Structure 1
Amino acid sequence: MFRISQYLRDLATAERTGSYPALPARRGAGLPGPVVIWNLIRRCNLTCKHCYALSADHEYAGELSTQEVFTVMDDLRAYRVPVLILSGGEPLLRPDLFDIADRAKVMGFYVGLSTNGTLIDAPMANRVARARFNYVGISLDGIGAVHDRFRRLEGAFDLSLAAVRHLHERGVKVGLRYTMTDLNAGELPALLQLMHDEGAEKFYFSHLNYAGRGNIHRGRDAHFIATRRAMDLLFDTAWRDAQAGSPREYVTGNNDADGVYLLQWVRERFPRWVEPLRQHLQAWGGNSSGVNVANIDNLGVVHPDTMWWHHSLGSVRERPFSTIWSDTSDPLMAGLKQKPRAVGGRCAQCQHVAICGGNTRVRAQQVTGDAWAEDPGCYLDDAEIGLDARAAGATERVAVTPFKSARSARIEDIPVVSS
């Protein structure tokens, strides 16, 4: 996750005081464990076009029991995992969700809930508020019918917006979550305005990643120009809020080139702060898959992050999470934890690899079959990363080819469901 607001607040402080904030002290021994995104249930009442879990509205056999979840939580706490993000599918469909959330709060975790919001009416909002979630993220991919098409449910937008309002009335911190493709890239300005109008505390911008239905629909990834325009709008919006002292937060995910693009944005506007910002960005280090971000799926299988469901690191039914996460005998895990990562292609030649960490490895793997190839989702051009496209031996970029299978054609034809 790239925390835009954090860096722009530092920039606002530098502009106001004439001094850039110091780098935070490096953490010593006994580092905390990763943020764990936990897909407690795969069932969902929606069948969204970009769902990495390929969820549908039916039961999935073999999911972890309540007691198994509690046992894993004990191990996570002992391993110093600081954050649990409870997700799905649609987590509100899991009958013991609030028992799990209550126990997580008592144990001292920061607890987030990731939901599509369509099930949150007033009574459900009361239950969510009583559970004391630190944060609830609600997915919105556009306004009105645009969102409904993505979610394949007529009226989904109205239900999700009502959820935002129900939760705010009860004092719950709410954020909007948006995944951009070329089908909804034009919705970003309206969604940012909606964030302000509704008083949402956070906006999470997700670049499309190639997993689940997101991989099937990767041919509809937003073109690089549209991505850059979106980042400009996000940076400009976050900068105005930073100057005004607003607590609103803007973050992005699934494309760590955003850090490099922010450096360019600052170079054009505030060149004297480029070097201290570069130091902060390098301390961040970019992609955290397999390092500071982990995933446990509904069956208890551990993955480097939520986009790696096709790669198992082991099951919590067979080994504790702490043992699985510390084990580097798996080549992918060893490579993700290596610093710097042994990336190839233009990523290996990029002068900013210390900032992005080689970006998102799952896109490289899904398109080329090689997890260490260049990330085809990097939207920076050769000049911006220090390459001369005319130099001898220069090669063409990896192209994002559409996913092809008989199944993908059938999924594309699923109609919008009328409520």
Structure 2
Amino acid sequence: MFRISQYMRELAHAEKTGHYPEAVHARRGSGGAPGPVVIWNLIRRCNLTCKHCYALSADHDYEGELSTSEVFGVMDDLKDYRVPVLILSGGEPLMRPDIFEIAERAKAMKFYTGLSTNGTLIDEAMADRVAATGFDYVGISLDGLRETHDHFRRLEGAFERSLAAVRHLHARSVKVGLRFTMTAMNAHDLPALLDLMRAEQVDKFYFSHLNYAGRGNIHRGKDAQFQATRNALDMLFERAWQAALEGREEDYVTGNNDADGPYLSQWVRARMPQWEAPLRERLVAWGGNSSGVNVANIDNLGSVHPDTMWWHHDLGNVRQRPFSAIWSDTSEPLMAGLKAHPRPVGGRCAQCHYFDLCGGNTRVRAQQLTGDAWAEDPGCYLRDDEIGLAAGSDASRVAVTPFRNARQTIRIVAGETHV
């Protein structure tokens, strides 16, 4: 996750005081560094069949999902491994009968506990339960205004139900965020959705770049083009900057494209060049892509993945080995590469002078398009001349081609990928 507002507040402080603020370092206990944020798809069933769903969910039961007692056992291991955050997701997590029992235990164990939901099931009674459980944060997906959102979610009335959920939760003082995944089919609604966020006094706006997983991979041919992506980031940067200057308690964050860090560095260079160097230090410390390092995923069957977009690559299953053992195992080739510093990436990513900021960006896009997890990320929207390469050489880049329903067997060994 790229925390735009955090950096904008630091820049606003620097502009006001003439000094860039000192970095705030989290306290680390004697047990060493904390474990990763865990996004946990507790259930695959969903009442919607969204066009960009990475889990390919549908409204029916899926066999073999973890039982309540199995979930509790995994939670004990996660706590011992110093995992700080659990994001309870799906499918639609509110369709899991024991979701509140799981969430209440997570809160009792002092995990920061989030809920990722489409919001359509949150009426006033459900909002009461969510509020009583004490979730630290609830993220609700909106893909645009009414017509666009209902089209994406394949359900007439989905927008009104999700917006009602935002209002129900806000009335109960639950911290709520909107999640928006941009493609060429909904980019036009971003300005209005940002206005809606402010009108509804929503706490956070999460802008997700399309990642090529599940239905998002099938629809990758409709991914937003690079200029549309840049326009969207310009809009988010300006909105977050003005919010920081005005002291608004709004958070703007992005995900699934770590070129956002270098792009912010360029934005600052053009407007406040005196702060580019200290900002770059912050961005290097951030380090870019966190897959396999600071963010992890457990799916509904207990399989562990480097993040939610890697469901086609299992690292192990918590029924056979503890999560802590799976996550620490660098004999697994993909994990060895993801945890390597620097990562063994190739192409333009390896030559980019922002490599220490973004870490080579999102590996799953490269793997889905080329079969090579270490190829350049085709979703990077920066031009070659902006990243230190010869101007005009972009023509040789990996192109985003439409999905073809052809099965491939992909084997990753020692930094190499074999198809």
TM-score where L is the length of structure 1: 0.95
Q: Deviations over 1:81-132 (max 9, x none)?
A: 0000000000000000000000000000000000000000011101101110
Mapped to 1, the partners of 2:389 and 2:247 lie a distance apart of 38
1:15 matched to 2:15? The reply is: yes
* Cα separation, partners in 2 of 1:161 and 1:46, compared to 1, 3 Å: same
Judge conservation of contact 2:385–2:392 (CA < 8 Å) in 1: no
The alignment partner of 1:289 has SS state of: coil
Mapped to 1, the partners of 2:382 and 2:395 lie a distance apart of 16
Show structure 1 runs of 4+ deviating over 3 A: 24-29
Mapped to 2, the partners of 1:359 and 1:265 lie a distance apart of 19
The alignment partner of 2:237 has SS state of: helix
Mapped to 1, the partners of 2:205 and 2:355 lie a distance apart of 26
Mapped to 2, the partners of 1:27 and 1:322 lie a distance apart of 21
Alignment of 1:379-394 (within 5 A): 379-389=381-391
- Aligned equivalent of 2:293, options 274, 291, 298: 291
Structure 2 residue identity aligned to 1:63: E
The alignment partner of 1:307 has SS state of: coil
Q: Deviations over 1:205-260 (max 9, x none)?
A: 00000000000000000000000000000000000000111111000000000000
Provide the residue aligned with 2:63 in structure 1. Answer: 61
Q: How far 1:404 moved relative to its partner?
A: 1.4
Mapped to 2, the partners of 1:78 and 1:390 lie a distance apart of 51
Q: How far 1:21 moved relative to its partner?
A: 1.1
Alignment of 1:297-336 (within 5 A): 297-336=299-338
Mapped to 2, the partners of 1:24 and 1:259 lie a distance apart of 18
Provide the residue aligned with 2:414 in structure 1. Answer: none
Mapped to 1, the partners of 2:327 and 2:262 lie a distance apart of 29
Q: How far 1:12 moved relative to its partner?
A: 0.3
Structure 1 residue identity aligned to 2:20: Y
Aligned-residue CA RMSD in angstroms? Answer: 1.3
Q: How far 1:23 moved relative to its partner?
A: 2.7
Q: How many residues are aligned here?
A: 405
Mapped to 2, the partners of 1:318 and 1:90 lie a distance apart of 26
Q: How far 1:2 moved relative to its partner?
A: 0.2
Provide the residue aligned with 1:281 in structure 2. Answer: 283
Structure 2 residue identity aligned to 1:259: G
Mapped to 1, the partners of 2:392 and 2:318 lie a distance apart of 50
Q: How far 1:24 moved relative to its partner?
A: 3.2
Alignment of 1:20-419 (within 5 A): 20-25=20-25, 30-389=32-391, 396-405=396-405
Judge conservation of contact 2:88–2:115 (CA < 8 Å) in 1: yes
Provide the residue aligned with 1:416 in structure 2. Answer: none
Structure 2 stretches of 5 or more lacking a match? 408-419
Mapped to 1, the partners of 2:314 and 2:27 lie a distance apart of 29
Structure 1 residue identity aligned to 2:24: P
The alignment partner of 1:176 has SS state of: strand
* Cα separation, partners in 2 of 1:404 and 1:390, compared to 1, 3 Å: closer
The alignment partner of 1:41 has SS state of: coil
The alignment partner of 1:308 has SS state of: coil
Aligned residues with identical type, % of pairs: 74
Structure 1 residue identity aligned to 2:402: P
Structure 2 residue identity aligned to 1:174: V
Mapped to 2, the partners of 1:215 and 1:24 lie a distance apart of 37
* Cα separation, partners in 2 of 1:25 and 1:123, compared to 1, 3 Å: closer
Q: Structure 1 residues 19-28 or 369-378, which shifts more?
A: 19-28
* Cα separation, partners in 2 of 1:239 and 1:181, compared to 1, 3 Å: same
TM-score where L is the length of structure 2: 0.95
